[in-house]
Amino acid sequence: MTKRRVVIGALVAAALVLSLGRWASEQYTDSLWYAALGASDVWHARFMNGMALRIGSFLFASVFAFVNLYAVRQSVVSLVLPRRIANIEIGEEVPSRYLLFVTAALAVALGAALALPGDVWPTALLARIGRPFTETDPEFGADLGFFVYWLPFETELYYWAMLLLLVVIGVVILLYALTPSLRWTRGSLYVSSYVRRHFTM
């Protein structure tokens, strides 16, 4: 292991520790504030539902992004980067495990960036604990509780899923544009059969 890798690893570990420490201190301070107001149950509901939303959306977004990015990775047979030794320039092939690591890291970064925000927890809580009104809407035949409790949460999930889909599509197109599979040539756009199958799926 080179010295540069050790330094980078130490910096990443320090950044993670500092970020987790700040997050933990914020949660502890919030819990004390809610407890002082006699609303510990509210903080517990906020924390549990917010964490469930963040973790669940993060895992789903990361897996969805990784599946699509891995498909892009499979289209790259090899990646050769120039490396200069003295006055000689030599092409060095990047190991496949490095490419897989970059793919996973980018998927995790997208998952973290696209995770549901914590302020959605009230709608998630209402969707989970909502009770039927025993009154049916004459137009749609659904209980009125559906429109009060479940529909707002479903709408949030719909808009989040659309955002996730559009962002991943944009990243995939950008990465394919860096490869010969998707390029502008002779006044027309060339799209390989592999890319067409990916977009179709």
pLDDT of residue 157: 93
CA distances from 148 to 14, 127, 134, 135, 161 (A): 45, 9, 13, 12, 21
Q: What percentage of the chain exceeds 90 in pLDDT?
A: 25
Q: Are 103 and 75 within 8 A, CB to CB? A: no
Counting DSSP H helices and E strands in the chain, the numbers are 7, 4
Q: What is the pLDDT of residue 113?
A: 92
Predicted local confidence at residue 85, as pLDDT: 58
pLDDT, average across residues 146-157: 90
Is 167 within 8 Å of 173 (Cβ atoms)? no
pLDDT, greater one: 128 or 3: 128
